[in-house]
Structure 1
Amino acid sequence: MLNRNITRSIFNCVLAFIFLLSFNKEVMVKANKETLTQHHYRTCSGMYSKEDWSGKVDPFISFNLKKFNSENENDSGVIVAIFDFQDFEHIGIELPDGEIYYICDEFAVDSGLCTSEQLDQYLIQDVVYDPFTGTNRTLAHPIMTFSQKNLGLHDSKYPITKTGYYCIATVSKYESTEYKAVVNFRNAYGKLAGAEINKLPLYGLLAIAYVVAMALYSFAFWKHKHELLPLQKYILAFFVFLTAETIFIWAYYDIKNEKGDSPGIKVYMVFLSILTAGKVSFSFFLLLIIALGYGIVFPKLNKTLMRRCQIYACVSYVLTVAFLIQSYLQDPEKTSYLLLITLIPMALSLFAYYYMILRSMTKTVIYLKEQRQIVKMGMYQKVLTIIYASLLIILAGLLVSSFIYVGTNSIDMVEQHWRTRFFYTDFWPTLVYFGVFVTLSFIWRPTSTSYMLASSQQLPTDPENVADFDLDDLQSLGEVADADLRHDDDDLDLNFSEEEHETDEQNKPAKQPTA
């Protein structure tokens, strides 16, 4: 019964941690330039006015026709409308039979829906009935509509005088017409999309937070440099990696904002995918060796076991890198089953990680309960509490996001939340990951007792004095630990090779769990 309850608890906690990692998405940036075709014929983007987010240029939306092929000589070209999303109901006129007519053609002119000067443009109504409010609505901003057949940049640009969510829609009279156009949503501050610009300062602040947390951990690392556990070296190395990764992400947004899309940016994205794969793989690796009792339950793992963990981490890393690079290079507008070539192996490797973590942590927790090692058991209970808390935060975040979207109508949702939508979709899990990692590193930080706690292999014989045993035992091990430290001058070296000194048979710890 005890084993079953422990297994169920560990199952939920590890599932929560993996759920957290799956939400911690890699960097995905929406470009300020969008491509439109006869199949993908409309797009929208948030735009800031120059007063709300200053910059070197006046913000605008431009249309550049790159390709146009039509078999009909009378084809007037691509018909375009640029408008504020609030005004989408003003486009098109409802006919008596209930059908909505969108284009001003000969039929529309004969029906009195438009004039001959408006031929080959979208039909626009200045006043429409709003079913959400039950009132008539007028245009929030002017709608720019035109048709273009000649290749090149359109003569006029749509000026952005007020912050909002703006769209562009295209259509052709004939289904056989093929076209391709590039729309530039140019903000004053640079070339990042309006929905992405807030990530630039936020990732900068997150990088500073990582630097501060790493500095505090490094101080404890230096202060107890003669009392270090190998696990604490792994944590410091991962701290350095996470700090560097966050700085690289911030730099990516800064470069993207200045340079826009370029071959160098695509190479940089591949580089970031490699870092993201390392973050995912090493997070699972750390959780696995902690689940095996590395550093606290057992000062060092069996050399063969540690090598297996490291090799599997490398394999998982390679599979994750392959998947991320392939997903970045694949055209997002085309569906291809070739992505499964890397997706399936990566998913299987993460599932295997999940199984090994579950199995190992279950054995370790059961071992600590059986041996009544209360202090060590308390540390693992804190880990489980942290993972449970992260799950609750994730669920709460999903509920809050759902209430925000459900509680407003579609127009208000887009208009009010395009600036903060990135936070609900991919940034707040990054903050949760930061909080979980910093908290776990605080629990496993170097202290004056952590080394002696890991060295303790004695077992209490009196159940009533279990709590007193661990603390007294730490003091009794002080002299032994000091003697060991005189022969351990290389502790400060971040060497993860696990080359160990042989110990006497009688001092060996109990059998370690296997991954």
Structure 2
Amino acid sequence: MKWQLHGLGILALLAASAFAHDVELKQDDSHRQQCSGMYGKKAWGGDVDPFIHVTLNKALPKEPSPLMSLIIFEWKDEELIGRFAPDDKDKLQKETICDRHNVDAGLCDEKSLGAFILEPNATERARAALISTAVNLTNPQPIKYPIKKTGFYCVSTYAFTGDDYKGIVTFRNAYGELPAPQIPKLAFYGGLTIFYAVIGMHGLNAMARVLMIIVAILNAGRNSFSFFLLLIVCMGYGVVKPSLGRTMIYVRFLAIGHFVFGVIYAVASLSITPDSAGPLVLLVVLPLAGTLTAFYVWTLNALSATMKDLVDRKQRVKAKMYKKLWWCILGSIMVIFAFFFINSFLFASKRVTDYIPEHWKTRWFVLDGWLNIVYLFDIGFVAYLWRPTMNNRRFAMSDEIAQDDDGFEIRSLASSLDEEEDLGTNPNNRMPGGARTEQSPAPAVTATPSRPQQPRQSLDVDHFAVGEDGDRWSEDESPRNSTERKGLMHKDD
């Protein structure tokens, strides 16, 4: 009950801190045009008809009146904005603003002075409504643009008289204030939450809840810790060797560096949008890419060395587990590279200006979604492979008995003992069939009944059950038992 109250409190804070998708309009090039994806009312549901609302700050009166050109359009209708001048035979550049020169050239009429120029019959040819007007900044009126269907909409402005202006553009969807490109993440991360809850349902205690909050806030910590654990597991820590020595120090330094660069990248990704990212973003990406590459190379090399060591020692079961881990890592790398090349091909096949308007609905999956799916599969596979079963516990505490080490076979033990008993006898006393005869006609000595032979246990099970009660050497056995025991004991013992 206490956790439920805390959860409701957090939701209330999030609801109170939710703001509309508002962006600023200014005269500079980076703010004079604002675009965003918008969903129709039927796409995600909602009680409000979606719309775009433009509010401009009022300017001081002066002569001539300060004018601002404004147009609201759907991106696919961008080709309807502007016209080529009659003397532009090569059609190199369109005239987009209706000024006095373009009025005289016949590209627009006197009533459209100060507005954006549109193609003839643009309103009939457009896929969505077009609003083009000249706004008097001394008395600006709010402009509301209704959204009838899903699309990528833009509000573009221009300082017609050269005066500064400021305003706010509100992109309001039917479902609420959340930006349209972010709404698919609700269902996606909701599904991930359910999967992670099912995976950790048996270990959900107070400390696990605290760790979940930390992991949710510090995504960089999650990645660094995951790579750290994967690397030491591939080195055989806890399964093949009890300690890594000084190597553990270097692994920790690499994990700390990856965590620091990951935090910087996370802060930068929250502060800088993908649309406005410039060349300086490489200073954030390259260090993180360097530590990530170091983790991948070191992990694969360590995994190969561990597998080779296990194969040489004939630890087949452990080697099989690490082989599955190797295929998991290799498959993840192949998926990442395949997804990267596919997205690069799609990006190269489109114009740079058309990529975002045409892929704004799926760009969230390219940036965030598919990586989380790969991570979920990897952590689920490793957790299943290293689950605490009875065999895994025995593997962690002891070595598997090599069944064919240097040609040694357990079934040859009885014949070797018989040969040792015959070392002191004369070979001529043997019959052709292998039976022995006595040299004197003395009465035959009654043979002592041999101990009942215990059934040989299967080689396929209980390789690590050394020292069971039925296999102990008794003190009343052959006087050679101490010598034979030394010959049969494992070299590591």
Q: Percent identity?
A: 32
Match of 1:80, as an amino acid?
Answer: L
Asked if structure 1 preserves the Cα contact closer than 8 Å seen for 2:38 and 2:171, the reply is yes
Which residue of 2 is the match for residue 161 of structure 1? 148
Separation in 1, partners of 2:116, 2:323: 64
Of 18, 23, 41, 1:34 maps to 23
Asked if structure 1 preserves the Cα contact closer than 8 Å seen for 2:75 and 2:152, the reply is yes
Matched, 1:148 2:90: no
Deviation, 1:379, is: 1.1
Secondary structure of the 2:237 match is coil
Of 361, 365, 370, 1:423 maps to 365
Separation in 2, partners of 1:424, 1:208: 22
Separation in 2, partners of 1:409, 1:338: 22
User: Which stretch of structure 1 is more off in the superposition, 178-187 or 95-104?
Assistant: 178-187
Which residue of 2 is the match for residue 86 of structure 1? 76
Deviation, 1:508, is: 12
Which residue of 1 is the match for residue 392 of structure 2? 450
Secondary structure of the 1:475 match is coil
Match of 2:383, as an amino acid?
Answer: S
Of 307, 312, 315, 1:373 maps to 315
Which residue of 2 is the match for residue 61 of structure 1? 52
Separation in 2, partners of 1:51, 1:109: 42
Separation in 2, partners of 1:73, 1:378: 84
Query: Structure 1 residues 158, 212: CA separation in 2 closer, same or farther (over 3 Å shift)?
Result: same
For residues 323-370 of structure 1, the C-alpha deviation after alignment (integer angstroms, 9 at most, x for no partner) is 433554569858696984x76765554455445434433432221122
Match of 1:92, as an amino acid?
Answer: G
Asked if structure 1 preserves the Cα contact closer than 8 Å seen for 2:59 and 2:139, the reply is no
Query: Structure 1 residues 412, 362: CA separation in 2 closer, same or farther (over 3 Å shift)?
Result: closer
Separation in 1, partners of 2:164, 2:110: 26
Match of 2:230, as an amino acid?
Answer: L
Match of 1:320, as an amino acid?
Answer: G
Q: Which has the higher contact order (CA 8 A, sep 6+)?
A: 1
Deviation, 1:45, is: 1.4
Asked if structure 2 preserves the Cα contact closer than 8 Å seen for 1:69 and 1:177, the reply is no
Q: What's the C-alpha RMSD, in Å, of the aligned pairs?
A: 4.4
Matched, 1:277 2:220: yes
Which residue of 1 is the match for residue 375 of structure 2? 433
Deviation, 1:386, is: 1.1
For residues 402-423 of structure 1, the C-alpha deviation after alignment (integer angstroms, 9 at most, x for no partner) is 5666778899976664322322
Separation in 1, partners of 2:29, 2:491: 68
**Mapping of 1:247-396 within 5 angstroms?**
248=216, 272=217, 275-298=218-241, 300-301=242-243, 306=248, 309-310=251-252, 313-325=255-267, 328-329=270-271, 333=276, 340=283, 346=288, 349-354=291-296, 356-396=298-338
Deviation, 1:384, is: 1.3
Asked if structure 2 preserves the Cα contact closer than 8 Å seen for 1:65 and 1:182, the reply is yes
Match of 2:368, as an amino acid?
Answer: D
**Mapping of 1:89-168 within 5 angstroms?**
89-96=79-86, 97=88, 98=91, 99-127=93-121, 138-150=125-137, 154-168=141-155
Match of 2:118, as an amino acid?
Answer: I
Separation in 1, partners of 2:273, 2:351: 32
Deviation, 1:391, is: 2.5
Separation in 1, partners of 2:291, 2:374: 24
For residues 113-137 of structure 1, the C-alpha deviation after alignment (integer angstroms, 9 at most, x for no partner) is 2222211110112447xxxxxxx98
Query: Structure 1 residues 464, 57: CA separation in 2 closer, same or farther (over 3 Å shift)?
Result: farther
**Normalising by structure 1, what TM-score?**
0.65
Deviation, 1:473, is: 8.2
Query: Structure 1 residues 213, 69: CA separation in 2 closer, same or farther (over 3 Å shift)?
Result: farther
Query: Structure 1 residues 327, 54: CA separation in 2 closer, same or farther (over 3 Å shift)?
Result: closer
Of 174, 197, 200, 2:186 maps to 200
For residues 379-415 of structure 1, the C-alpha deviation after alignment (integer angstroms, 9 at most, x for no partner) is 1111111122222323443455456667788999766
Which residue of 1 is the match for residue 37 of structure 2? 46
Which residue of 2 is the match for residue 209 of structure 1? 195
Question: Structure 2 regions of 5+ residues with no counterpart?
Answer: 1-17, 411-457, 469-488
Query: Structure 1 residues 465, 404: CA separation in 2 closer, same or farther (over 3 Å shift)?
Result: farther
Match of 1:146, as an amino acid?
Answer: T
Separation in 1, partners of 2:34, 2:149: 19
Asked if structure 2 preserves the Cα contact closer than 8 Å seen for 1:126 and 1:138, the reply is no
Matched, 1:188 2:174: yes
Asked if structure 1 preserves the Cα contact closer than 8 Å seen for 2:72 and 2:132, the reply is yes
User: Which stretch of structure 1 is more off in the superposition, 95-104 or 145-154?
Assistant: 145-154
Query: Structure 1 residues 243, 209: CA separation in 2 closer, same or farther (over 3 Å shift)?
Result: farther
For residues 440-474 of structure 1, the C-alpha deviation after alignment (integer angstroms, 9 at most, x for no partner) is 211111112100012223552625989x9xx9586
Separation in 1, partners of 2:490, 2:286: 44
Separation in 1, partners of 2:235, 2:135: 66
**Normalising by structure 2, what TM-score?**
0.68
Separation in 1, partners of 2:262, 2:467: 44
User: Which stretch of structure 1 is more off in the superposition, 431-440 or 47-56?
Assistant: 47-56
Separation in 1, partners of 2:268, 2:341: 32
Separation in 1, partners of 2:183, 2:199: 25
Secondary structure of the 1:449 match is helix
For residues 239-285 of structure 1, the C-alpha deviation after alignment (integer angstroms, 9 at most, x for no partner) is 97896578x5xxxxxxxxxxxxxxxxxxxxxxx3xx11111111111
Separation in 2, partners of 1:508, 1:92: 87
Asked if structure 2 preserves the Cα contact closer than 8 Å seen for 1:76 and 1:147, the reply is no
Separation in 2, partners of 1:318, 1:89: 46
Separation in 2, partners of 1:188, 1:151: 32
User: Which stretch of structure 1 is more off in the superposition, 301-310 or 86-95?
Assistant: 301-310
Deviation, 1:178, is: 4.0
Deviation, 1:94, is: 1.2
Matched, 1:475 2:458: no
Separation in 1, partners of 2:396, 2:329: 23
